[in-house]
Amino acid sequence: TFSDCEGNSKVHYEVSSPYFKVNHDGSLVALKNVTAVGKTLFVHARSPHAEDMAELVIVGGKDIQGSLQDIFKFA
């Protein structure tokens, strides 16, 4: 979880893959089947007070259709 130690006001997220987005609360959302979008993506969080980047690697996985929670449960 990203924290700028100032209440995360005006946090802006960028994701390296167009098949994912980050909600304002910091949750990552897949916009396409996770197994079809590649294995690595980067999330960049920036606020007026701090900035950070995370590398996310998707490991394993089966070709599953469903919610992100279900997909990660079976991966």
Buried b / exposed e over 30-58, threshold 16 CB at 10 Å, is beeebeeeeeebebebbbeeeeeeeeeeb
Has residue 48 been placed in a domain? yes
Has residue 1 been placed in a domain? no
Give residue 42's pLDDT: 92
Give residue 74's pLDDT: 55
Domain count, the chain: 1
Residues 22-63 have pLDDT tens digits of 887 778 888 887 776 678 889 898 888 888 898 988 876 665
Has residue 6 been placed in a domain? no
More confident residue, 64 or 58: 58
Give residue 1's pLDDT: 62
Note the pTM of the prediction, 2 decimals. 0.65
Measured distance CA(52)–CA(17) in Å, rounded: 17
Has residue 3 been placed in a domain? no
